[in-house]
Amino acid sequence: MILSEPQSTVLPIAATDSHFPVRRIYCVGRNYVEHIREMKEADERDPPFFFQKPTDSIVLDGGIVPYPPLTKNLHHEIELVVAMGSGGYNIGVAKALDHVFGYAIGLDMTRRDLQRAAKDRGLPWEVGKSFDHSAPCGAVHMVAEVGHVQEGAIALAVNGVTRQKGDLREMIWKVPEIISNLSSLFEIKAGDLIFTGTPSGVGPVLPGDRLEGTVDRLGSLRITIGPQEG
């Protein structure tokens, strides 16, 4: 049997007919103080830490996220996403924004019960964070069009009821610091996405729920939770 090449993952670039090819998805854990407190985590100024999601876990705006197997507690986490246009190792904070191509809205969907069980046993988070369809993401808005999105409202509503609401200024680690820290661990390249953490108000969703995330200057991201798969 001859295998076909896997389909590449791309995001639309807002106001164009072009697409942003996705290379890797990095996520920052615990980057808003109120979210750290609601999750009962420890030090509020711990250095940023990162985990990854599969590139093919992206779900486009308007898509359906099937309710994943082996969980009874699927949570939403609304996030600002940074789309990298270039990169390298050991990028200085002062130069970090020079490498940003644009920004998008993302959802870090989380099997919270499986994540907590892994944390309790000192195991990696992938089973709770990196499952299929776990990274809905909207169109990429170019820096040339929207500037650098470092302040403004970020929110998520479920079935029209606001669940999460914050401001990007509340991020503990700002975008330049995140990029600099990440580049000390990995070589950042064009096509990388960085999910920058979520404000407080995370909570469960069920099949049939309609989610709408918004970030100032970036419009909205809408997805629906589908029937359980598997």
**Domains in the chain: how many in total?**
1
Q: For residue 72, is it within any domain?
A: yes
Predicted model pTM: 0.94
pLDDT of res. 119: 87
Structural domain harbouring 200:
10-228
pLDDT at 41: 58
Tell whether 89 is covered by a domain. Answer: yes
Question: What CATH number has the domain bearing residue 86?
Answer: 3.90.850.10
Q: Determine, yes or no, domain membership for 1.
A: no
Indicate whether 2 belongs to any domain. no
pLDDT in tens, 63-110: 999 999 999 999 999 999 999 999 999 999 999 999 999 999 999 999
Q: Which residue has the tokens 């999105």?
A: 149
5 within domain boundaries: no
Q: Give a yes or no: residue 218 inside a domain.
A: yes
Distance CA 155, CA 170 (A): 13
pLDDT at residue number 146: 98
- 117/166 Cα distance (integer angstroms): 28
The answer to whether residue 4 is domain-embedded is no
Whether 17 is in a domain gets the answer yes
Which residue numbers in the chain have pLDDT < 50?
A: none
pLDDT value for 67: 98
State the DSSP string of 129-167. HSSTT-EEE-PBEEHHHH----SSEEEEEETTEEEEEEE
Find, among 5, 57, 1, 2, the residue nearest to 26 by Cα: 57
